[in-house]
Amino acid sequence: MTPFAILFPDLSPEIFSISLGNFNFALRWYALAYIVGFLAGWWIIQRLMQRPTLWPANTAPMEAAKVEALLTYVIFGVILGGRLGFVLFYQPGYYMANPTEILRVWEGGMSFHGGFAGVIVAGLVFCQRHAVPPLQIADAMALVAPIGIGLGRVSNFINAELWGRPTLQPWGVIFPGARAESCPWDWPVAYCARHPTQLYEAALEGLVLFALLAFVVWRRGWLKRPGLVTGAFVAGYGLARFTVEVWRQADAQFITPDNPLGHVLSLGPLGVSMGQLLSLPMIAIGLGLLMWRRRA
């Protein structure tokens, strides 16, 4: 008897493609997620700068016209940091042997933790050059970050990548390419169902986290205490990512016959994945920032 599972819908990673002679162009869902995320973030931050009553001393940290410049810095930080983070954290050996492929970001392979570090550096450079308070700008960026993260996770699902571990739960999805050889039980078909962890992350890291941050900004006035929103975002994302990693399939380079779950650190009977290991400092830093700014 075949266990109940959801067949992956017939979705293409490309929204549309154009071919004219030697010219080929394709708009992918992953690229659209970045574009919509950046535009939504730009729009919301502009509105924040036009609401001085939300900020300390009823004064916005910068003019709304400067948000476009901030967006430029953030785009470079996300792309460069995300790509370099993926190369260094997940596949350093492969890219050391194939350095020309490091720049091929259109083929996928981005690390959130690397992108997060890239945004921090880009934001600090922007604040120094434009003489604006870093913590307040960080709060504005933290508020809108879950939008892009959530859309990115939805595009991961559409691309049928970064799926979860095998499951017999009725909401398990049979992804193309997830063959049954890696299942811990005898699956009666060629492909086994897996946790749709992309959607778990889209819900927790995107929708829930954005709703929480929007509530504390507009209903609790957290922007008046610089650093609170940033701390909530960092801790909230780290906790959400750490939780979903319990069901997420580890990257292939970490999986071995002796380590089928792909743990990079063992804690007695438990194990920690690379995603969890990178999330632990985020949880600690976020909680520390929250406590520090709550006392201020």
- Residue numbers in the known binding site are 153
d(CA 206, CA 217) in angstroms, rounded, equals 16
Could you please report the per-residue DSSP string of 53-71? GGSGGG--SS-GGGHHHHH
d(CA 252, CA 294) in angstroms, rounded, equals 42
- Strand 6-7 to 173-174 pairing: parallel
Cβ pair 230, 135 in contact under 8 A: yes
Cβ pair 80, 121 in contact under 8 A: no
Q: What is the DSSP letter of 155?
A: H
Cβ pair 223, 141 in contact under 8 A: no
d(CA 209, CA 79) in angstroms, rounded, equals 22
Per-residue burial over 96-107, b = 16 or more CB atoms within 10 Å of its CB, e = otherwise: eeeeeeeeebee
Tokens, residue 67: 């948000």
> Which of 85, 82, 62 has its CA nearest to residue 74?
82
> Which of 105, 60, 43 has its CA nearest to residue 79?
105
Cβ pair 240, 207 in contact under 8 A: no
- Strand 23-28 to 14-20 pairing: antiparallel
